[in-house]
Amino acid sequence: MLYPVQDRERDEALRQLWDGLEVSECREDEVERNLAVVEDMLFKDKSGNKPAVSRKLFGGDWKKIAAIWTIPFVMLCASAYFYFNSPESAPLEMAQVSYVQHYASEGTHEQVELPDGSQVCLNAGSMLMYPSTFPSSGRWVYLVGEAYFDVAKDEKHPFTVSTGFMQLHVLGTRFNVSAYPKDSQIKATLETGRVMINVRGDSVNYYLEPNDQLVYTPRTGKVEMHSVSASNFSDWRRGELCFNDITFTDAMYLLERSYGVKIHIQNSSYDGQRLRAHFNRNESLGTVLQIIKMMIPYFDYQIVGKDVYIE
């Protein structure tokens, strides 16, 4: 069966999230509890009884299923559960609430307005998921990829952005989050306001002030704080391309997302290279590769349709 290109790209984003999960880091009791929540919400029949099929559907990989549903599915289901069962809220049917998914395909950006009026700009190859109505306990969204957030201020309802590796808690502010599963580093950069960040597996609360950036390296678990010019990290919203001292591999991933191509690296000698460059709006892929060639003299490439071969 043939699927639309955007559906295939969206499936790839979810596959990357799946592949990036380290289920061994999930506590056994947490996985069991999350699975129980999902079973209760999905598998009960009309009489309230839970049929025996539920966990059998998962096969031998049910722990990984439970883990991925923790992020973001169980989070959203739990938010809806507390919303519907809150004494403050009127009784509503579950069918009245839907979960919204936005995906910006490669080579594009997408502007999203959240239920509270917050504005989100999604970068290429990124997915945003959130409930159609935020619960009274707070505002939660889940991000795979990169997005720029302009959050509507609401002191009674904190706003949380959750990724596979960190959670950002804000009231009203502007910030950029880059959390692509393939990239070697996860970055959160603050323009205005104040942000508190929880990093997975770290008990420390990190606070960002304007022009602060937190960089997390999943491979090593290292967390770094930097002082930067925050606007440089959201230039992509204006169609510009910026290599902010990133690894060669991450730069190639960025080009893949920005131009909708597949890059085949056939030479491991580039692994130690880092790139720092800024390209104007709508610069062609050929021009960008030519500039990289000037930066790395032995760099060579060939463009064949939607494939780029780095020799």
pLDDT, residue 131, reads: 83
How far is 264 from 49, CA to CA, in rounded Å? 52
Q: Which of 161, 159, 230, 169 is nearest to 196 (CA)?
A: 169
Provide the residue ranges of all domains of the chain, joining segments of one domain with +.
Answer: 5-95, 97-233, 239-310
Cα–Cα nearest to 31, from 57, 68, 72: 68
Residue type, 204: V
State the average pLDDT over residues 142-153: 93
- The mean pLDDT of 224-251, rounded to a whole number, is 90
Residue 242 has pLDDT above 70, yes or no: yes
pLDDT at 123 over 90: yes
Q: What is the pLDDT of residue 51?
A: 45
Residue 36: partners with Cβ closer than 8 Å, 6 or more residues away? none
Higher-pLDDT residue of 207, 235:
207
pLDDT value, residue 136: 76
Q: What is the CATH number of domain 239-310?
A: 3.55.50.30
DSSP string, 196-229: EEEETT--PEEEE-TTEEEEEETTTTEEEEEE--
> Which fold is adopted by the domain 97-233?
Jelly Rolls (2.60.120)
Q: What is the DSSP string of 83-126?
A: HHT-TTSPP--GGG--EEEEEE-TT--EEEE-TTS-EEEEPTTE
Residue 67 has pLDDT above 80, yes or no: no
Q: Is residue 120 scored above 60 in pLDDT?
A: yes
**Is the CB of residue 285 less than 8 Å from the CB of residue 261?**
yes
For tokens 């290292």, the residue is 222
Q: What is the pTM of this model?
A: 0.71
What token pair was written down for 73?
Answer: 């599915």
* pLDDT at site 209: 95
- Over residues 6-16, mean pLDDT: 52
Residue 156 tokens read as 């009674």
What are 176's strand-pairing partners?
148, 189
Predicted local distance difference test score (pLDDT) of residue 11: 55
Mean pLDDT of the chain: 76
Could you tell me the pLDDT band of residue 217, with boundaries at 50, 70 and 90? very high
Phi, psi of 277 (to 5 degrees): -165, 155
Q: Is the peptide bond between 115 and the residue preceding it cis, with omega within 30 degrees of 0?
A: no
**pLDDT tens across 12-66, in order?**
555 554 444 443 344 445 445 545 544 454 444 445 554 444 444 444 444 544 4
Asked whether the CA dihedral 299, 302, 266, 264 is positive or negative, the reply is: positive
Annotate 228-275 with three-state secondary structure: CCHHHHHHHHHCCEEEEEEEHHHHHHHHHHHHCCEEEECCHHHCCCEE
Closest CA to 78 of 112, 30, 145, 119: 30
pLDDT tens track for 244-286: 888 999 999 999 998 989 999 888 888 888 988 888 877 899 9
State how far the alpha carbon of 251 is from the alpha carbons of 106, 108, 183, in Å. 15, 17, 9
Instruction: Calculate the dihedral angle through the C-alpha atoms of 76, 77, 81, 84, rounding to the nearest 10 degrees.
Output: 70
Backbone angles phi, psi at 156, to 5 degrees: -80, -15
For the cut 80, the answer to whether the pLDDT of residue 84 exceeds it is no
Q: How confident is the model at residue 85 (pLDDT cuts 50, 70, 90)?
A: very low
Minimal CA–CA distance to 270: which of 295, 291, 242?
295
Question: 82 versus 209: which is more confidently predicted?
Answer: 209
